[in-house]
Amino acid sequence: MRDVLVVGAGVVGLSIALEAQSRGLSVRVIEREGPAAGASAGNAGAFAFPDILPLASPRIMRQAPKWLLDPLGPLSVPLGYAPRLLPWMWRFWRASRPAQVAASTAAQTAMMRHAQGTLDGFLARAGASNMLRREGQLQVYEGRAEFEASLEGWRARQEAGVEFRHLEGDEVQVMQPGLSPRFTHATFTPGWATIDEPKAYVETLAEKFRSNGGEIIIADAEALTADGLRTSAGEMTGRVVIAAGAYSHHLARTAGARIPLETERGYNTTLPEGAGGIDLRQHITFPAHGFVISRLNGRLRVGGAVELGGLKAPPNYKRADAMLQKARAFFPALDTSGGTQWMGLRPSLPDSLPAIGPLPGHPNVICAFGHGHLGLTQSTATADIVADLLTGKAPRIDMAPFSPARF
């Protein structure tokens, strides 16, 4: 018997496992494929602490109809999946009302501050401090109108204490040489950090967890039981933490809990080491186009976008191709040959906040999923909160906005 059974060996699950170990708990991780097998392997590597604005917002609701008309644009819903998505979209629309957006922004701000405050200590304990780069992020805009449309969001960030600096004209080229002159404005956020290689980072967490005496069992988590978990490797007893990413709601449903988790299918192309042909100085975000370019250990990763298409449909790599073509237009010297394409499944809840806390009606089961694009960013904060709950301590932020019972 272990004190804690963590379901999921992605960045959130393994961060929780390590933090629980640091509090003196014995931990077993159950994972269907292996460490970093899912979205934790192919993300953009960002600790996006300034990203406090929820996806569910009036701004997105205004843009969504235009985006949905482009099957390769920033937001896509496969036609055959749309009827299944309607209940989730209704909740998303309700979360986009101004009062809810303000509440979600406040909750996300508290979570991001907690994530910033826990990151350095966690990395030191995991032996991964050398993998972090603090280069900031640049959001770029094509023309004054697009820049001015972003200012409402920047005012909200300013009220939350996020540091940033607006740039115009030649300042943009100085900050990021080689960027097309069509981008006349930009905003730099120094609080953004990047991990060298997301997959290697999660594998480092797994190695540290094992060296501390933890075990990772490759098995399917089939159902919650009265005293633990039924898996394809047999019955296991202990308190359960559900951190299985986009698959988490299926396990919660075995206990009768219906949590409206949906799958954001994200795409990218990773260009090989030494390729690219540009000097990328920081993470670049193209907000009007819904994708980013990041530098990972000498390689470049071009990806993003949102495809709400569930768990089972085959990848549509035309979406990755479309982002790569745009990246080449935006960085004229970019060499896009020799890349490797990838699709990952992001777990997304309609109000843009994760579900963290006891599963309704099951106090010995703790949820830790639904982070959307922010799993890596919020992993250390989530680990600290879950470890507090496991050891009977009060978390350092208000957990009501993140309660799984809110649905």
Tell me what the mean pLDDT of segment 228-238 comes to.
97
Closest alpha carbon to 243 in 216, 208, 204, 211: 216
When pLDDT is cut at 50, 70 and 90, the band that residue 200 belongs to is very high
115-134 pLDDT, tens per residue? 999 999 999 999 999 999 99
Parallel/antiparallel/unpaired status of strands 193-195 and 215-218: unpaired
Give the integer Cα–Cα distance in Å for 394 and 381.
14
pTM for the structure as a whole: 0.96
The string of pLDDT tens digits covering residues 253-286 is 999 999 999 999 999 999 997 767 789 999 999 9
> What is the radius of gyration, based on Cα positions, of the chain?
20
Place 69 in a pLDDT band, splitting at 50, 70 and 90: low
Q: Are 287 and 57 in contact (CB under 8 A)?
A: no
Q: How far is CA 244 from the centre of its chain?
A: 13
Structure confidence by residue, pLDDT tens digits, 363-375: 999 999 999 999 9
Are 379 and 193 in contact by the 8 Å Cβ rule? The answer is: no
Tell me the Ramachandran region of residue 305: left when phi exceeds 0, alpha when psi lies from -120 to 50, beta otherwise.
Answer: left
Considering the chain, what is the average pLDDT of its residues? Answer: 94
Q: Would you call 234 helix, strand, or coil by DSSP?
A: strand
Question: Among 20-24, 155-159, 208-212, 269-273, which is the least confidently predicted range?
Answer: 269-273
Per the structure block, which two tokens stand in for 173?
A: 């080229």
Q: What percentage of the chain carries pLDDT values higher than 70?
A: 99
Q: How far apart are CA 19 and CA 11, in angstroms?
A: 12
**3-class SS at 335?**
coil
* All domains of the chain in start order, with CATH: 1-57+97-132+193-260+350-407 (3.50.50.60)
The residue assigned the tokens 């960027």 is 179
